[in-house]
Amino acid sequence: MRIASDGRIVLQPATRERIRSSRGIFGLGTGAGRAGVVVALLWAASVGYAADVQLATRPWLQFLSRDSAAVHFETDAAVAAVVEYGEGQRLDRRVSGPAATWHCLVLTGLRPATVYAYRVKIGSEPISETHEFDTA
């Protein structure tokens, strides 16, 4: 595996490596096992990176109706975002979007005349306060 000049990870053709442990020497290929390690490292890097992402704007609602609402916000880096929402203070529903700096996530299946709470998350970390709104 190597990192290209543009930041992409380039996997090398399969090779064999030997690793010495207290139980002897084991041969490990660079096939699925190595790919799994790469995926785990990328995931770990993204989790650490997510903690550094900040909101560039506070979340705001638009197109609020009896059964849906659009949550808009901007982040200071292109990331995939999640909005958790639910009735009262229960944040038991989620909607997610692709990596971007400008986000518009639509909350659906809302009930009329009901108070809802929502917050923005990146990975497993909330990056906004919990906000409330009520449907018509």
Q: Is 55 within a domain?
A: no
Domain match, 33 and 65 both: no
User: What is the distance between the terminal CA atoms of the chain, rounded to a whole angstrom?
Assistant: 55
Number of separate domains in the chain: 2
Q: Residue 38 in contact with residue 11, Cβ under 8 Å?
A: yes
* Full domain range(s) for residue 27: 2-50
Give the integer Cα–Cα distance in Å for 84 and 86. Answer: 7
Confidence of residue 136 (pLDDT cuts 50, 70, 90): confident
Q: Residue 42 in contact with residue 49, Cβ under 8 Å?
A: no
Q: Is 130 within a domain?
A: yes
Domain match, 42 and 96 both: no
**Which neighbouring-strand residues pair with 62?**
70
| The pLDDT of residue 135 | 92
Domain match, 65 and 113 both: yes
| The pLDDT of residue 52 | 87
CATH of the domain at 87: 2.60.40.10
**Higher-confidence residue: 51 or 56?**
56
What's the rounded mean pLDDT across residues 32-42? 49
Give the integer Cα–Cα distance in Å for 115 and 107. Answer: 13
57-86, pLDDT tens digit by residue? 999 999 999 899 999 999 999 999 999 999
Answer yes or no: is pLDDT of 35 > 70: no
Q: Which stretches of the chain are assigned E, i.e. beta strand?
A: 2-3, 9-10, 16-21, 24-29, 60-62, 68-79, 82-87, 93-96, 100-108, 115-122, 125-126, 131-134
